[in-house]
Structure formats: C-alpha cells, structure tokens
Structure 1
Amino acid sequence: MVFISTRRATRAGLAALAALALVSAPARADVGSADAGVDPLATAPIKRVCPAMSRPGTVTCLALVRTDVKPLHGVQPRHAPAGLGATELRDAYRLPTATAGKGQTVAIMNVFDDPKAESDLAVYRAQYGLPPCTIANGCLRKVNVDGGTQLPRGDTNWAQEISLDLDMVSATCPNCKILLVEADQPSIARLGKGIDTAVRLGAKYVSNSYGDSEGGYKSADFQYFDHPGVAITAASGDNGYGPLFPATAPHVTAVGGTSLSRAANARGWNETAWSGSGSGCSILAPKPRWQKDTGCPRRTVADVSAVADPHLGVAVYDTFGFGGWQVLGGTSAAAPIIAGVYALADSLPSNGYAAAVPYAHPGRLHDIVEGSTGTCTPSYLCTAGPGYDGPTGLGTPDGVDAFRADQAEASRSRAREAGVSSPAPAATRPGGGNGNGAPRGVVSGAAAGKAVTGGAPGRTAAAALRPLVNGGFETGSLSGWTSAGVVTGVTKDHPHSGRYAALLGYPDDPKKGDSSIRQSFVAARGNRRLSFWYNVSCPDKVRYDWVTASLHDDTTGSTNTMVPRTCTYDNRWDKAEAPVIGGHAYTLTLLSHDDGYFGDPTSAKFDDVTLS
C-alpha cells in the first residue's frame, strides 16, 4: 500500500496575459487617443497565418498559429491534441450538446480553396466524438461566391484559416450543416457577393474571419453585411486597440477575443480580455441604435467575444501543407464560435438584426472584467471592466439564452436545464457534516444504506417508466436517485456546471466501503446517447481504491461499463458516454470505492447526466 503524504496540485489558471497589443490610434481626435503598446507576437512563438494586405481594398485572414507545437497526424486516441478541444469549448461556454442546431446552416466566408477541408474536418470531428460532416451526407457543402462548384486555386495559408473556421463551428454546433464559400480573391466585393450567395442558399448564420483597416472603404460597402434576419459575425482584429472593417459594419456582430484557461473556481475557467483583441471607435460607421455607450459617437467594437489568445489557443487539424494538429488563435477563432452559438440558439429576429439581440440580455453572458488592449481615452474602449467594454463587448457566451430573440423559448430552455423541482435541501449542520455523516461541502444526501427517492432495478414497471430526472443535481439534493453505501450527497464545491454536483465518498478522510447512487429510467424514442461528467479524487492505486460507472439495459439484460475502475488525482472533469435505444429501460449506477486506509481518501463528483 502506498501512503500519500502530499496531494498533487489542483487545476490552476495558466500563464498570465501576454504583452499588450500593438496600438493603432484612430484617425479622429474626438474619439479618444491611445499610447502605443508592444506587438503581441513579438515575445512569443506565434506568427500570422496570412500575409499582410498587399494593396488597398484587400483583406487578410485574422488567424494566428503557434510555431512551437509539433504537429501530430491523425486521430490521437491516447492523448488529446494541444490546445482547447471541442469538449472544453462547450464546457467553458455551457453550450447544449443534444439536438440543438439541427437543421441550421452556418456559412463560413473564405478566400481560395482548401482541397483537404473535408478529410481534415473528419479527423477533427472523430477526435472529439462529433457526428460525421461530409459532402456525401449533406452536412458539408463547398461553393464559390456564385454558388457554383468551380472552386478557386488552393492556398496553404488561407487553408489554415478554413480549417480553423470549420473546426470551431463543429466544436460549438456539431449538429449544424456547414456551407464553405470560397472567394477567388481577398476583396470585399468578392467576399460580399459570397455572403449574398450564402444567404440565398439558406444560411442564416455567416462567419467572417478577415479584415482590413477602415481607410479604404466607403459606407456603400456596408450593403454586403446588411441582411435582416441573418446573424453575421465578423472578427474584430488581432492588433489590439483600433478596429477593422467589416467588424465595424453597423449590422454585424463584431466579435472580440479573450484569453481562456482552466481555473479552480466555480465556473471552472478563467477568462480575461486578450491583449490582441481589436477594439475601439469606428471612423466611418454610424452607431447602431442598440449601442448606448457614450464614449464613441459612432460604431463601437466589439459586441461580444470568445477565446482568441493563441498562447493558450484552440486545437485545429490541417494537412494541406502542414503536419496535422496545430494550436491556433486570433479573433478568427472567436467569430465562428459565436456564429455557432447563434445557430444553437435558433432564434433570430424575423425583420431585425441579430447583432441587437445580446444587447437586450447582457446579464446572460459571462461579463469579462479584466485585461486590456492598450491605453486609451476613454479607457473602456481598450480596457475590460464591468458591463460593456471595447475588447470583449458585452461578454462571452454563458449558454445560448443571450443570443435568443425569442425569450419565451429561452425561459423554457432554462426550465429544462434546471430539471424537475423538488423540496429544498436539508440544512447543513455547523462545523462540517449535515447530520447524516456527509462530509464538509455536502449540503444534502443520504448516509449508509438509506434511499433518497427513485427506483432501483426490480421496482414495478410503473415506477421504472419515467424519464431521467435531476441529472444536474440542481435540486440541491439526490432527488430522483437511490443512494447506498458510506457517504453520498451533493456538493457546491466546483461542480461541472450549475450550483451542485453529486459527491460520493468522503474527500477529507477515508471511509471504508462503497458509496453509490443509481437511477432507473426509460430512454425516449429520440434518445441515442447518455452522457455525464465525472471528477475523480483518488491519490492511491486502482488496486485498492477506484471509481466506476455502469449502464445496465434492463430491457435486454446487457451492461455497458461507462467508466472502468479508475484511480486518478488531477482534479479534472472527464466525460463518459454510452449509446442508448429509445424505449428501453436502463439503470445507471455511479460508484466510488475506498478501502479505508489512512491518508488516501477516495471520492468522486458526478454532474450533468444527460440523455440526448
């Protein structure tokens, strides 16, 4: 037996922000001034994916790539690729993963062709367990700006941008169809025609990850980005203070950038303004009626934001001129993420502009309050703070409600996420437990052998014929579950999402025996998969202590071991999934085993048990 005298380090936030971005001061003195900062690429192994604009009126992609990451080829079954993956992005922004987005089409606007777009996308989606998206199954479609199949020449630089866009839409909205529109030159006229084509072909969500300074454009160029009833997103830029076109177009959703990293807090993530996020006051565009900030008389950038910092970065797969897995960033990553979130929300104003929707619901976003893109006057144009600011706008997604024009549907969605109501949790006894032997932090539950509610195998058919309930434990209790063993309950200590998670075992002192909860339910006809998240705290060896989970098909008698005996100690949330058959009865059992040996208590948290 191994005696563990010290605990391993828990999750912590990653490195602090990089140097401040290169500042581009606005041309008009009445909209503020800025002091020059440091190029965000100067102190890190990062380069721009696309070359700078070669002539006035041309745009460049806004993707950045890490140069210190060794590319890996193909699906990685043993180790996740470097960078934030699809599962982590959905977790950080609390995005639905079941049927949301079905039937929606997200268009991504790009320049030149990526001949390996389909095969590279297949690897990315397979890596993260996303459904296939191919030309053959109708999920992916490639066209030129006229809607035809004669595609432009290939280009390895823009192909990296294409891979980034495809992967980010897939990560946020795996059920969405994707329309890839490829222009034959990096001009607003050609890309603008592509937007018109995408809308004509049925896309209600259009992502633009490119930009140019405003100087070479006129108000007439706004026409390409004026589509009521369509959500058009545009990257705000990667040079810090000083916004780009088309992010300044009045009717697009301008998307700024953040730095996103794991953290030991209630959300599980830390997010600050990225120093490179384009922000500031337009010199050209009029202020849309939904913007109320007073420090800029014209259009202010950004509106909302998402992860963009390439130092932390997102995982992307690209083999057209490159070796496979890479880490990319830039507001080119943020724009397709937000387009995917709009598609998940599936609620656009019929005659109005999608850009206005988040301004009606700012409290339903993660408000980013730290970080800066430079020094400017007024300061909110380049420094994050409570409420609206230039670098991050209103904030980042916290679910999809802020992007729903139909707030009646948003209320119904929140009710579904909260689960079935139940009596208030039992009061916590001062000084630690809750009166039934539960550990500190457990606010309700059951002691050894005492069932809470719900059915175990063998109960009557009438009792078993019910849906899965309280999968997120947001009742503040184990309502709907049967509890057995040593110590079970719910905890407020860093759940995967929401306010509570189930806690099995005693995290501070070994308690010999099994602690388990189970629930019997019937999968609905449309259900195809059961999933949940688990966080194991096991400082011993699996020979002595372990956590496991199984799904028993009560209809056929078969058992699926969703989590084999596991003993890890990295304070990390992992996801388990298993297929289900609509109409079949199931029993899910979650268990933590502790041998009671002094000094190495074993426990586990479970959360977000979901049928989809």
Structure 2
Amino acid sequence: MAVLPLTAVSLGVSTAQAATPNASPRVALPNTVNPAVAHSEKKGDVPAAQQISVSVSLKLRDTDALDRFLTAVTTPGAPEYGHYLTPEQFTARFGPTQAAVDQVRTYLAQQGLTVSDVSANRQVVNARGTAAQVSQAFGTHESAYLDPQLQRAFFANDAAASIPSDLASVVQGVSGLDNHAVRKNRLATPNSVTPNTASASPSGMAPAQYTGAYNLNKTGADGTGTTVALWEFDGYQSSNLTTYDSQYGLSGPAVSTVSVDGANYDSAPGQGQGEVELDSEIVRGAAPKATQLVYEAPNSDQGEIDMANKIVTDNRVSVVSISWGSCEPDTTAASMTAVDNAFKQAAAQGISIFSASGDDGSRDCTRSTSGSGVKAVDFPASSPHQTGVGGTNLKVSSGNAYSSESAWSTAGGGVSTVFAKPSWQTGTGVSGTMRTVPDVSSNADPQSGFAIYTAGAWQVYGGTSAAAPLWSGYAAQFNQKAKAAGQAVLGEASPRLYSVANGSGYGSTFHDVTTGANQDFSAKAGYDQVTGWGSPVADALTTALLGGGTTPPSGGCTAAQLVANGGFESGTASPWTASSGVVSNSSSEAAHSGSWKAWLDGYGSAHTDTLSQTVSIPAGCASAKLTFWLHVDTAETGSTAYDKLTVQANSTTLATYSNVDAAAGYVQRTLDLTSFAGQTVTVKFTGTEDSSLQTSFVIDDVALNVG
C-alpha cells in the first residue's frame, strides 16, 4: 500500500512547554491519546514554539431524536421516510448552537490560539498555536516520538486532553494533538505483478465484464443527473482518466477537484495517485454519466474531519466513495466520533457512503503500529452510518455473465471495538453487540483485478478500494432510477440493503458468497464478516429497493406516507414552513396525539398564520389522500364565516373551514390529491382571523398516503 509520508518533527529537546492549565476545574476528554504512544519511543519535548493545528469537535444536540429520525427516514411507511433534511435544517435541529461555538472560540482565544475557521455546520472549530499554547489550552504535554514499527517520527500528547468543566457539555473531543495517524489507500496488485509495473495495453477486468457480471448493464441507468464524491488524500491527472474513457468508449461529465484545507495534489500527484484514478475509473465504468467531484484533503485527523464536514455542508452529492482508512486501534476514538457525526448528517440529508473494508483481512493493523496479532477492522468502514464494502474474487464467463464468486482471503472484516451494533444490523449470521464489518462486497482480489490507467500506463489493480467505488457507481444508478420513479434517493444504504437481504428476495437480489475466508472469519450462507450479504444483482436489487417491478404496481407508485413530522413531535416546524409560534405544545389547546400540534390563529384580532410543506407525489399513483385532524375552537356565534382556514395544493384550493365548523374536539378531514400524481406539491394551510372574537384552527397528525 502507498502511504503518504508525514513530515518528521524535530526530535531535539526544547524549552519546557507551559503545561499547567488554568486553575479552574477541568474535565478529561477520553480517547484523545493516540494508541501509538504506548508502542513508541519518547525522544524529547516538542519545541515550545512549534506550530500545531487542532480541531475541536462539538457535540450534536438532541441525539435521541436524531437517532429516531435516522431510523424513520429509511423506513418505508414511516412519516419521515425519504424526507431528508437540508444542511440548514440539520444544523438548526441537531447541530451545535452558535452560542456553543462562541464559547469554544472565546476559550481558545484566551489561551492564545488563533481560530482559523469554523465548519458551516458548526461541528468543528479549527485553531492554531504554538505547542506551549496548545499544551496550556488542553492540559497536556506534547512530546516527540519514534514509531519503531513504521520507523517514523511523530509528535503526540502524552496524556488525555482536558478542558474546563464549563466546556464539557459542548465539546465532543479534540484532534490534531498528534500527527501519527495516516490514512492508507486500500489498493492491491496481483502477487505476480510488481507494484507500479506498467503495461502499454490493458489487461484485467474491463467495465463490460463487471457491469455484465453484476447486471449493472441491465438497470436501464447510467448515473445521469447524479453526483458522486470521491474521498481522497492525493491527486490525479485528467489525461489518465481521459485515456481510460477513450479505451472503453465511455463519456460523461469531466471530473473536477474540490480542495479541503487548501489541499490540491493534482499538479504533482503522490504515491496515492493510482488510488484516486482507480476510484474515478471504476465509478466511470459503473455509472459513466454521473458527475464526479474529487474532494482532496490533507492526510491527517483534521483533514479527514474537515473533508467529512465539507462534503455534507456543500450538499452537492448523493453518494460518497471512500477507499482510504486506518485500523481502529491505531486511531483515536475522538477523531472517529467526529467523522461519524458528520456521517450522521450525511444520512439525514440522504447521502449514501460506501467505504472499503481494508486489505489485511481481520487483522487490519498488520502493516501499522498495533501489528498483525490484533483482530481489528478498518475505519471509516466500521462507522454505523455508512456501508462497509468487503472483497471477493469474481469469475466472469466469456459472455461477461456472472460465473462464480468466493471471498478474497485478505478482505477486511470483523468486529468493531468502538461502535455498537446499529439497530438495522440484523439477520442470519449477524450476532453480538458490536458493529460488524462489512455489509456488502464485490470484486477486489487483485488476481481478478481491474484494468486501470494511471500515471501514464495500464496497471492491474484490486483491493476493497475497487469494491467501494463499484457500489458507489451502483448507488448513482439507483438514484437516477428513483428520481424517475418519483421516489427518494437511496440515502443511508445499509438499513435498506439489510431489509432486502432479510426478505424473501435475498437470493435474487444478492450473490450470496459462501466459500473462502480471511484470517478469522469464513464466508457462509447469509451474512458473514468477510463478504457481508454478498455482491449485487443490480437490476433485481434496484427493483426490490423501489418496491416493485421495473414498472412498479399502480403504474410506478409504491404505497407510502409522504408527509414528514406530521405530528409535529420533533418540537420544531422543520420540514414544515410555519408562522412564528404555530408549532406549539401549549396546554391551552390539546394535541390530538402526543404533546405538539400546529395552532393557527386564536388571537381575537386581525391575524394570518400559515403552515406548509412540499412533497413529491410519484407518477402513476392511483390514490393520494391528504388526511389531518382539525379542531376548530371559536368565540364567534351564529352561521356567518368570519374566520377561515384554507387548505391548498399549490394554487388549488382543496377545502375551506371556518368558525362555523367549530366542534368540541378533533374531526379527521380527508382531501383527494390524486390528480397531482407526478407533481411536486406544496400543501398549505392558511388561517385568517378578523378583528374580533378568536377562532383557533388546531391541526395535528397530518398524512399524505399514496398507493
């Protein structure tokens, strides 16, 4: 594997750092010492004046509600299903507050650190200062070390960081106190081929072979209208990608680079160039018309965290492909949690993430500090909010059809020591209380490797870094099909893939890989910790995920409930747009269910309140019924309609209610929206009250059921 070198630090002993923090009570931040410290030789102090950059990660808010939302948004039939949030909505509901950011900024400035930037979602505050200032701010000491396993110098904090107790409620962790961690690509070459041995003509698997074997050529999609992010710590040359496209007759939007923290390797790509070009070329082969954005970041904890947050706040992509990682025992849990929090936002926004599971089997630290004696899995593949992709050896017939498949002997897989098993990870072969890896797999064995054009010549490459972009290309295909069917994008893929795998159609939607093993786990029927559920039968899997045939029942309509937060129990209006104070848990007007409802008007003076939400009704739906519970409470008398509630779909008025419809309690109302099938519709409630005598229009448990 190619490893990006980190700059060696001075090993000379310096003037002592100011290591005594302020006298105010402090709280230790767990998991902030790099595990390599325990295995390395201490060489002295880091010079007190040496500049160090740190990332302070802030805690998300209302995490229980966030977990409920992430479950609901991928559960067919749930009110929130497919109703993803914008970055602004996510930050408003679950992100750190501006007050928390200001509190952290103030503290860092008091310690002499310079805040360089704050992520747009307020999850990360980046700062820079001298080693002495950093030590003062975080109550630790920076020392120079030598890693004897890697023969690499690095700096690190000797003990856990700490912060003043008044910051403990808002700070998740701090990264950048060491520069040991480095992400490695998951790229492998055949045993018979010396790495970087180039050829003038391609050998290895061509796009027609892997798209044929996995039925990617039978979905009727090519990625048109979708965008995929490639997660990279190195660069590429556009000319190599063009040569690949020309060789295989592929065409699509030009690949472009998005710089993170000033990184842009494209003018002089390093040892990871083959990885970047592999990722791009496999996505191109699977989904040629998809737009590709190559996010390039510094290879550091801070770079990884900032890249994750930039991708979700940019919100330009629906799929992310990750082929770089580090073994869990060699990475601080604080940094992994910071990245996983950004992945939670990705899931809430409907972004699918596929990560390579690693190329060292169930001993992912084989080529790093912790060594081959440790059972370990790779991060980010172990995150519960992305899909870990394992590796197989694929055999293809002469007609480019699927022949057979077995587990690749060094495909990453096993049990996380950091993340608990998510609720969706169930099924035959799934056991224990911790997250297991991988979730799915595809061809990765370099002996059945891919033809890749890189650095001016043809190579044969494998590795789970080939499997992750293949699945990412499939997700781009699916998102194109879903849009055409009026459905939501794939979003967090694992819950939906596990649902299909646990159903009666498993055998027709996945190739269940049952032979082969890595060091500690064997492939077997159903789920296993080498190949997950197996590789895709892309056309059948797409049909299952869309909920029917290529032309689903009811002419392309899957039965679903489309309104999100219809009971207002999130305690906020989002994703509704509402007048101030409309979403309320006031005891003056009872909710139909739960504690929250939408209360329009009731002021006894001239006033107008509105409540609206935009939904897309799939084409071909034979039925679309809007239902809601309405309680009209009024001080008006007689049969004259003074105060009115109007219900509209776009500019069409569906119904009007007034003070004349007052009742002692709630009455369920049903309105027909079937004529809007195939359209995006804004459902709007407008309450208008005249200058005297109040009328309250109280709305709860809104639903729009289609089928």
Calculate the TM-score normalised by the size of structure 2.
0.45
Question: How many residue pairs end up in the alignment?
Answer: 343
Cα pair 1:60 1:210 within 8 Å, conserved: yes
Cα deviation 1:513-533 (Å, max 9, x = unaligned): xxxxxxxxxxxxxxxxxxxxx
Pairing partner for 2:434 from 298, 313, 322 = 298
What residue is the counterpart of 1:274 in the other structure? 408
Cα pair 2:500 2:545 within 8 Å, conserved: no
What residue is the counterpart of 2:251 in the other structure? 131
Structure 1 pair 345–52 and aligned structure 2 pair: CA distance change class (3 A): farther
Alignment of 1:3-402 (within 5 A): 56-66=180-190, 67-68=193-194, 71-73=198-200, 81-96=202-217, 98-114=220-236, 116=237, 118-134=238-254, 140-145=255-260, 154-183=268-297, 185-199=298-312, 200-215=314-329, 216-218=331-333, 219-226=337-344, 227-228=346-347, 229-241=350-362, 242-263=376-397, 268-292=402-426, 294-319=430-455, 323-346=456-479, 347=482, 353-362=492-501, 363=506, 364-375=509-520, 382-402=521-541
Structure 1 pair 366–339 and aligned structure 2 pair: CA distance change class (3 A): same
State the alpha-carbon separation in 1 of the partners of residues 213 and 377 from structure 2: 26
Cα pair 1:342 1:403 within 8 Å, conserved: no
Alignment-mate amino acid for residue 199 of structure 2: L
Cα pair 2:357 2:464 within 8 Å, conserved: yes
Give the superposition deviation at 1:262: 2.6
State the alpha-carbon separation in 1 of the partners of residues 299 and 306 from structure 2: 12
Cα deviation 1:390-413 (Å, max 9, x = unaligned): 111011011144367852365427
Gapped runs of 5+ residues in structure 1? 1-49, 135-139, 376-381, 417-612
State the alpha-carbon separation in 2 of the partners of residues 51 and 62 from structure 1: 21
Give the superposition deviation at 1:193: 2.1
State the alpha-carbon separation in 1 of the partners of residues 495 and 474 from structure 2: 15
Structure 1 pair 349–201 and aligned structure 2 pair: CA distance change class (3 A): closer
- SS of corresponding position for 1:72: coil
Cα pair 1:254 1:302 within 8 Å, conserved: yes
State the alpha-carbon separation in 1 of the partners of residues 260 and 530 from structure 2: 31
Cα deviation 1:209-237 (Å, max 9, x = unaligned): 01111122323441132212110011101
Structure 1 pair 396–268 and aligned structure 2 pair: CA distance change class (3 A): closer
Give the superposition deviation at 1:271: 0.8
Cα pair 2:410 2:519 within 8 Å, conserved: no
Cα pair 1:144 1:152 within 8 Å, conserved: no
Q: Sequence identity of aligned pairs in percent?
A: 31
Structure 1 pair 177–52 and aligned structure 2 pair: CA distance change class (3 A): farther
Q: Which of structures 1 and 2 has the bigger CA Rg?
A: 2
State the alpha-carbon separation in 1 of the partners of residues 462 and 259 from structure 2: 26
Cα pair 1:357 1:402 within 8 Å, conserved: no
Cα pair 1:279 1:390 within 8 Å, conserved: yes
State the alpha-carbon separation in 1 of the partners of residues 490 and 390 from structure 2: 26
Cα pair 1:256 1:391 within 8 Å, conserved: yes
State the alpha-carbon separation in 1 of the partners of residues 490 and 277 from structure 2: 32
Give the superposition deviation at 1:151: 5.3
Cα pair 1:142 1:149 within 8 Å, conserved: no
Cα deviation 1:351-391 (Å, max 9, x = unaligned): 9622211111121111111110023xxxxxx1111111111
Cα deviation 1:555-586 (Å, max 9, x = unaligned): xxxxxxxxxxxxxxxxxxxxxxxxxxxxxxxx
State the alpha-carbon separation in 1 of the partners of residues 152 and 395 from structure 2: 29
Structure 1 pair 51–268 and aligned structure 2 pair: CA distance change class (3 A): farther
Alignment of 1:396-435 (within 5 A): 396-402=535-541, 406-408=545-547, 411-412=550-551
- SS of corresponding position for 1:166: helix
Alignment-mate amino acid for residue 284 of structure 1: V
Structure 1 pair 150–305 and aligned structure 2 pair: CA distance change class (3 A): closer
State the alpha-carbon separation in 2 of the partners of residues 102 and 266 from structure 1: 24
- SS of corresponding position for 1:299: strand
Cα pair 1:234 1:254 within 8 Å, conserved: yes
**Structure 1 runs, 4 residues or longer, greater than 6 Å off:** 50-54, 413-416
Calculate the TM-score normalised by the size of structure 1.
0.52
Cα deviation 1:140-164 (Å, max 9, x = unaligned): 2111126x79657633311110011
Give the superposition deviation at 1:191: 2.5
Cα pair 2:197 2:459 within 8 Å, conserved: yes
State the alpha-carbon separation in 2 of the partners of residues 261 and 144 from structure 1: 38
Alignment of 1:437-452 (within 5 A): none
Structure 1 pair 149–212 and aligned structure 2 pair: CA distance change class (3 A): closer
- Higher helix proportion, which one? 2
State the alpha-carbon separation in 2 of the partners of residues 250 and 313 from structure 1: 28
Structure 1 pair 288–327 and aligned structure 2 pair: CA distance change class (3 A): same
State the alpha-carbon separation in 2 of the partners of residues 58 and 266 from structure 1: 38
State the alpha-carbon separation in 2 of the partners of residues 52 and 415 from structure 1: 63
Structure 1 pair 337–70 and aligned structure 2 pair: CA distance change class (3 A): same
Structure 1 pair 189–70 and aligned structure 2 pair: CA distance change class (3 A): closer
- SS of corresponding position for 1:167: helix
State the alpha-carbon separation in 2 of the partners of residues 133 and 268 from structure 1: 29
State the alpha-carbon separation in 2 of the partners of residues 171 and 255 from structure 1: 18
- SS of corresponding position for 1:96: helix
Alignment-mate amino acid for residue 318 of structure 1: T
State the alpha-carbon separation in 2 of the partners of residues 152 and 110 from structure 1: 11
Name the Cα RMSD after superposition.
3.1
Structure 1 pair 415–336 and aligned structure 2 pair: CA distance change class (3 A): farther
Structure 1 pair 214–317 and aligned structure 2 pair: CA distance change class (3 A): same
- SS of corresponding position for 2:272: helix
Structure 1 pair 125–350 and aligned structure 2 pair: CA distance change class (3 A): closer
Alignment of 1:527-546 (within 5 A): none
Structure 1 pair 328–415 and aligned structure 2 pair: CA distance change class (3 A): farther
Alignment-mate amino acid for residue 517 of structure 2: S
Give the superposition deviation at 1:243: 1.4
State the alpha-carbon separation in 1 of the partners of residues 205 and 153 from structure 2: 29
State the alpha-carbon separation in 1 of the partners of residues 151 and 464 from structure 2: 16
Cα deviation 1:313-365 (Å, max 9, x = unaligned): 1010012xxx4100001101101111111111114866962221111112111
Cα deviation 1:31-67 (Å, max 9, x = unaligned): xxxxxxxxxxxxxxxxxxx999986432111111343
- SS of corresponding position for 1:203: coil
What residue is the counterpart of 1:553 in the other structure? none
Cα pair 2:353 2:386 within 8 Å, conserved: yes
What residue is the counterpart of 1:609 in the other structure? none
